[in-house]
Amino acid sequence: MHIRDHFAHAAGPTLSFEFFPTKTDEARTKLHATINELASARPAFISLTYGAGGSTRDATQALVKHVKENTTLDPVPHFTCVNHREEDIDSVLHHYAGIGIDNILALRGDAPRDCPDHDHDHDHGLDVCRHASDLVRHIQRFNASGTHRDRRGFAVGAACFPEGHPATPNRLVEMDHLKAKVDAGVDFLVTQAFFDNHVFHDFRARCDLAGIRVPILAGILPLPSRATMLKMAELAGGMRYPAALLRALKRGGDNPEAFRRIAIQHAAAQCADLLENGVDGVHFYTLNQSDPVLKTLAALGSATQGVFRIP
Ligand SMILES: Cc1cc2nc3c(=O)[nH]c(=O)nc-3n(C[C@H](O)[C@H](O)[C@H](O)COP(=O)(O)OP(=O)(O)OC[C@H]3O[C@@H](n4cnc5c(N)ncnc54)[C@H](O)[C@@H]3O)c2cc1C
């Protein structure tokens, strides 16, 4: 469903899940089972990531097709423009329009891992789009061509970073870039995962001041393990964990089960606060695991049907 229709008719904040494509047959079978388990929560959509520089192009497209053909879920493919020529972009858009995809998450992406300088100075020779806003404009031109069966074309989602994106340390300038991206034709935003709701509330208020009025879906990650927590902190612009969470985890000691329980309680408390404060939607980073998300939803006590129902 075109996301604008969903927001127009939704009885509450949207619930959605992110998955990433896997490499082996065995992992793929497991992922399909995980998606089926999480389908029971009736998400409004599930989003499917695209590897850096298009490295999972085929795997992402295969997963999108699998979800479309074998489930009742609405798949929203991520699409990154780094390392893509105009014809690469158009071919992906034609493919998704052809199989009835209504929504796309348009991203810049990061340089592929085999790029000589992974973090900086990626050779943009191939790239027709430098920034996600260029990709958004490109998708809107595709939409205007009337190729998509929906006369509005694809609904377009985009990323945002409540704690800031490392490439733009000046947060005022970063907000200008985000506003320009939204004005280029973005229908909804999805945040990077965050663990301190104050950061999100402040970000949303700053977006409002900047005149950004599209729905902002809050990215929530119920941490499955200490190893994942460390890994996320190592990413460029990695996660910042608030003292309250770190204190609770410290009390839990080295017990992995206690870690998971505390992380789920934290994620559930974040969701409860977001729902109380009128969030547009909650987007779970599942890391391809159903258990932490289902337990978070159970801890919240909310029945879901594409939307959260606040008990
Ligand atoms: C919800 C979500 C999903 C993601 N999914 C994927 C995925 O599937 N695959 C993947 O590879 N990565 C993914 N990422 C990571 C993302 O691609 C990277 O974080 C990337 O560095 C930023 O992408 P963006 O779309 O926000 O880029 P942009 O909007 O282009 O922003 C990137 C940086 O450029 C700056 N900028 C924007 N416009 C300009 C301008 N005109 N001039 C100068 N600077 C400018 C911005 O301020 C920002 O610092 C995801 C991130 C999020 C939050």
Q: Which residue owns the Cα nearest ligand 1 atom 10?
A: 109
CB 174, CB 168: distance < 8 Å: yes
Q: How far apart are the CA of 104 and the centre of ligand 1, in A?
A: 14
Q: Which residue owns the Cα nearest ligand 1 atom 2?
A: 159
Q: Which of 18, 26, 163, 174 is catalytic?
A: 18
CB of 190 closer than 6 angstroms to any ligand 1 atom: yes
Output the pTM of the full model.
0.95
CB 103, CB 148: distance < 8 Å: no
Can you say how many angstroms the Cα of residue 243 is from the centroid of all Cα atoms in its chain?
A: 25
- Whether 163 sits among the annotated catalytic residues: the reply is no
What pLDDT sits at residue 117? 44
What pLDDT sits at residue 173? 98
Q: Any idea which fold 3-300 has?
A: TIM Barrel (3.20.20)
What pLDDT sits at residue 217? 98
- H or E element in which residue 190 lies: strand 188-193
CB of 106 closer than 6 angstroms to any ligand 1 atom: no
CB of 174 closer than 6 angstroms to any ligand 1 atom: yes
Which of 176, 163, 262 is CA-nearest to residue 222? 262
Q: Is 170 helix (H, G, I), strand (E, B) or coil?
A: coil
Dihedral pair phi/psi, residue 301, rounded to 5°: 70, 25
| Low-confidence stretches of the chain (pLDDT beneath 70) | 112-126, 236, 302-311
Q: Which of 84, 104, 108 to mutate to test the pocket of ligand 1 (most atoms within 8 A of CB)?
A: 108
Q: Which residue owns the Cα nearest ligand 1 atom 37?
A: 177
For the chain, the domains span 3-300
For residues 87 and 102, give the distance between their C-alpha atoms in angstroms, rounded to a whole number: 20
The ligand 1 atom at the shortest distance from the C-alpha of residue 60 is 8
What pLDDT sits at residue 308? 57
CB of 38 closer than 6 angstroms to any ligand 1 atom: no
CB of 56 closer than 6 angstroms to any ligand 1 atom: no
Q: What is the pLDDT of residues 72-96, one digit of tens each?
A: 999 999 999 988 899 999 999 999 9
Q: 15: which strand partners?
A: 282
CB of 110 closer than 6 angstroms to any ligand 1 atom: yes
What pLDDT sits at residue 271? 95
What pLDDT sits at residue 118? 46
Q: What is the DSSP string of 122-167?
A: --GGG-S-SSHHHHHHHHHHHHHTT-SSSTT--EEEEEE-TT--TT
